[in-house]
Structure formats: structure tokens, C-alpha cells
Amino acid sequence: MPYTGIIKNQVVVLEEGVLLPEGTKVTVFPENNEVRRKELREKWNRFDEGAERVFQQLLAEVGTTSDSVEILRRLRDARADR
């Protein structure tokens, strides 16, 4: 059963009349989804930057060939040289 409340001083204050036992675990879903959207956007940007770095590193290691067998061979050779 969902309850509503607000955050005060970093504590969840439930609506009047709701009493849950001390130590009860709860999950909070903010009604203002903009906060969650901002979090996800920041995570995506970090992922995107990391993916771009990996792509650039792979491109530097394998060159410009589009032959997948050749790419795999070059990657194995590069890994073996480390």
C-alpha cells in the first residue's frame, strides 16, 4: 500500500495518521521526476563519454579496416603484446 509524505531535513515524514514500526524499510519515489531525469541524463553522459573513449581506443588499435576477422586478429595480437 503506497503512502505519501514529504522530505524534511533529509527525513521522510509520512502523511498524518500513518504509523510504521521503527526500522521499517521504505522505498521513496519522488513525484518530481525531473530530479530522476537529471540523474539518468548525467549517468548516460558519463556512459556515452566512456563508450566514445573505448571506441576511439579500438579504432586506434585496429585501424580503418572493416573486415571483422582482421579486426579480431588485430585485437588478439594487441592483447597478446600487453
Digit-coded pLDDT (tens) for 17-49: 888 899 988 888 777 777 778 888 888 888 888
Against a cut of 0.85, is the pTM above it?
A: no
Read off the pLDDT of each residue in 44-73 and give the average, rounded to a whole number.
80
- In this prediction, residue 82 carries a pLDDT of 67
Confidence band for 81, pLDDT divided at 50, 70 and 90: confident
The CA-to-CA distance between both ends of the chain, in Å, stands at 56
Q: Kindly calculate the radius of gyration of the chain based on its CA atoms and give it in whole angstroms.
A: 25
